[in-house]
Amino acid sequence: MRLLTIALVALLAQQTLTAMSRLVLPVTAPVLAEDLGINPALIGVYSGILSGVAMIVATGCGGLIRRFGAWRISQVALVAMGCGLMAASPGVLAFFVLSAILVGLGPGSATPAGSHVLARYCPPRHAPLVFSIKQSGVPLAGLLAGLAIPFLVLQLGWQGAFVVIGCAYLILALLFQPFRAEFDGDRDRDHRLGFSDFRGSLREVIHDRAIRELALAAFAFVGLQVAFDTFFVTYLVKGLGVSLTAAGSVFALGQGVAVFTRVFWGGLAGRFVPPRHVLAGLAIVMAGAAAAMMLLDASWSLTAIAIVTVLYTATGFSWHGVLLAEVARLAPDGRVASVTGGVLAVIMCAAMIYPICFAAILQATGKYGYGYLMVAVPALLIGIQLFRRRG
């Protein structure tokens, strides 16, 4: 339990910083764009490069974790993200490309590495709860980004904020070092790296029916998440006439609720309700909440909008720990990182595809609601399928 507690605390911090690495540029974009005289839409290019790198890394990191150890790869990911954020500070466009590439190394490897460590030390009965606690770092990152980054920009300017935040990643990597021998005790120094690591991750996801089903569920669920992250505030401000301050408050409320609901669903799954049934229930409710977004209009009160938002984030942002624990349970011995990486590659693919589809629907119809209906349908179908299958 002592080692599990150390690993969980460390990996929660890692997950929080990893998730925040994707938010630093979006949060600073208005100030950065004005200072550099660039179009804020270029943030989409940055995010696209970052997600593409993360997808490639997630597919092939299983072999690296096996050879060098999950703890070491976590340290390397933290250093890469920290250096990537600092690389953007000079304000040169070419350096932003380098920043996106370096930062992308983190999200692609952090989750498989964390799953590998937790799977070794966590009793299977408690895995959904433990994995959910670790994954609560994602909404925690949203809260931290919303509070800390604007403060740092105000105090130090956006360039100083990038440097200070980047240093936090390097410090955490150093704090990991004393525990490396213990948590990397299972690494295989003789494992040969090659393209087979990429093929193996995807093959195990595709060929195993249960894992393939979970990967498809993750693909559908991420659609709701990125639709919220990318378009929610703009929907409220531009589509419904809500003030930016009020829209930001509702957004923060949703993120805050997700911190607690992730842990709650993780505690419920496995001990009281089969994990797949928990995922199925979450899928159906999140689909209903996303479909309800289509009904919003200017006549809705902010309280009513907040209720829909909470239902959305309490389900659409709270499935990760339960699903990743199931993936770890189903993965062959010694292949947790590889299989998790394959599932994560599917997630990164969804993170690239869904915003493009949502934007195309918005461009064609001028209505945000149709985009939310689009992301609701796959989640509903997945929920029905998960209820139909056992264990």
Domain residue ranges in the chain = 2-177+198-388
Residue 162: what pLDDT? 93
CB 267 within 8 A of CB 366: no
Residue 189's pLDDT is 76
Q: Would you say the pTM of this structure is higher than 0.85? A: no
Cβ distance 373 to 290 under 8 Å?
yes
CA gap 252, 390 in Å, rounded: 36
How far CA 84 is from CA of 162, 173, 326, in Å, comes to 9, 14, 32
Residue 383 near residue 278 (C-beta atoms within 8 A): no
Identify which of 314, 290, 293 has the alpha carbon closest to the alpha carbon of residue 240.
293
- What top-level class would CATH report for the domain 2-177+198-388? mainly alpha
Find out whether 45 and 172 touch, Cβ atoms under 8 Å: no
Q: What is the CA radius of gyration of the chain?
A: 20
Produce one character per residue of 62-77: b if its CB has 16 or more CB atoms within 10 Å, e if not.
bbbbbbbbbbbbbbbb
Block residue for tokens 């689909």:
287
Q: Could you read off the pLDDT tens digit of each residue along the chain, which spans 391 residues? A: 788 888 899 999 999 999 888 878 877 776 777 788 776 556 667 777 887 888 888 777 777 888 888 889 999 999 999 999 999 988 888 898 999 899 988 888 888 888 888 888 888 777 777 878 887 888 788 778 777 888 888 888 889 999 999 999 999 999 999 998 888 887 877 667 666 555 666 677 777 788 888 899 999 999 898 888 777 877 887 788 888 678 777 887 888 888 888 888 888 886 788 888 899 999 999 999 999 998 988 889 999 999 999 999 999 988 888 888 888 888 877 677 778 778 878 887 888 788 888 888 887 888 888 989 999 999 999 999 888 765 4
**Angstrom distance (rounded) from CA 77 to CA 108:** 9
For residue 154, give every residue at least 6 positions away whose Cβ sits within 8 Å of its Cβ, in sequence order, or none. none
- If residue 374 lies in a helix (H) or strand (E), which one and from where to where? helix 368-388
pLDDT attached to residue 358: 84
- The pLDDT assigned to 390 comes to 55
The pLDDT value recorded for residue 391 is 47
Amino acid at 237: V
pLDDT of residue 199: 62
Both tokens of 131, joined, read: 């994995």
